Amino acid sequence: METLTREKIFYEFSKDNKPVKMVKSGTTVAIDTYDCFTNQIQSDRTEINTIDWNHVNPATGPIYVENANPGDILKVKIEKLEIGDQGVMVVGPDLGVMGHRITEMQKKIIPIENGKAIFDEIEIPLNPMIGVIGVAPKGNGVNCGTPGEHGGNMDNKMVEEGATLYFPVFVDGALFGLGDFHAAMGDGEVSVSGIEVPGKATVTFEVIKGDTLNHPMLENNAVYTQIASAKTLDDAAKIATEEMVDRIVAKSDKTIEEVTMLMSAVGQVEVCQIVDPLITARFVVPKWVLEKLDIKLI
């Protein structure tokens, strides 16, 4: 297994980033990460107004995956996800769903103890997840706080240990990176932050030829999900649904009308986050349905 330390970070997914590691398809890499504030808030004594907002949402990388070319798919299996023992949350004016009601920025240090996040008297069960994960986009770079067709800051709580992501490849080598782990987060990420923590993700890369994607997908033991990001939650939900319907129609012997009805009965429109510069939704289909249709989505 290879390793990558968190000193190698970038703040923008870009075709112009210089790779910090080259790996072959099939390689497993343990990747260290800072939290989304690049670990600038370590205690209650840190003044929130003193942190450098030009250095938030770092992704560790980029990793160049050999033989990944535009039009391919990069498969990334999250073998293991480890998180630090202290998290932090923030709220502030104009941030998140309640930003219009909040007058000053506040932070909260949240110890992680015995598998729980300690929020005052409330012990929150952990659901460790990766907020920022993706590849270089085509065209201009995209800052690591924004999601898109390349992945990025999707803040999707299904991006957890055991999940497999599939990204469209836009540039040679894909230029993969990840960061922004959360010890716990609900769908929506309504305050604009999860419980932000540093950590280490162990992932295995595989290049898939002969198939292509418009937006990232995610697979776990139970489901396939189509992820999409857009200016509105309405648009993100519709894009995710339509991409999934189109993929099932293309791979099955059902018509678009039949697949639309079937998805209405068994598919789920779900929310990833509603607080980033673009909004992210997912459309979720149980694997047993795909097995009955006798198709593989990827």
Q: Which residues bind a copy of itself (CB under 8 A)?
A: 89-91, 96-98, 101-102, 106, 108, 117, 119-124, 184-195, 232-234, 237-238, 241-242, 245, 254, 256-258, 260-271, 274, 279, 283, 289, 292-293
CB of 260 to a copy of itself, least distance (A): 4
Q: What are phi and psi of 290, to 5 degrees?
A: -65, -35
Q: Which is nearer to a copy of itself, 42 or 232 (CB)?
A: 232
Torsion of CA 93, 85, 19, 209, to 10 degrees: -100
CB of 60 to a copy of itself, least distance (A): 24
Alpha helices (runs of H) in the chain, residue ranges in sequence order:
233-251, 256-266, 287-292
Q: Which is nearer to a copy of itself, 96 or 151 (CB)?
A: 96
- Number of Cβ atoms within 10 Å of the Cβ of 233: 17
CB of 242 to a copy of itself, least distance (A): 7
Q: Which is nearer to a copy of itself, 7 or 253 (CB)?
A: 253
Amino acid at site 262: L
- Number of Cβ atoms within 10 Å of the Cβ of 273: 28
CB of 151 to a copy of itself, least distance (A): 21
Q: Which is nearer to a copy of itself, 52 or 257 (CB)?
A: 257
Q: Which is nearer to a copy of itself, 130 or 279 (CB)?
A: 279
User: Using CB atoms within 10 A of its CB, is residue 24 exposed (0-12), middle (13-18) or buried (19+)?
Assistant: exposed
With beta carbons less than 8 A apart as the criterion, state whether 84 and 112 touch. Answer: yes
DSSP 189-251: -TTS---EE-EEEEEEEEEE-S---SS-EEE-SSEEEEEEEESSHHHHHHHHHHHHHHHHHHH
Q: Which is nearer to a copy of itself, 83 or 90 (CB)?
A: 90
CB of 285 to a copy of itself, least distance (A): 9
Owner of token pair 């290049």: 207
Best CA proximity match to 136, nearest among 146, 150, 153: 150
Q: Which is nearer to a copy of itself, 30 or 269 (CB)?
A: 269
Structural tokens at position 129: 């997840």
Structural tokens at position 154: 């999707």
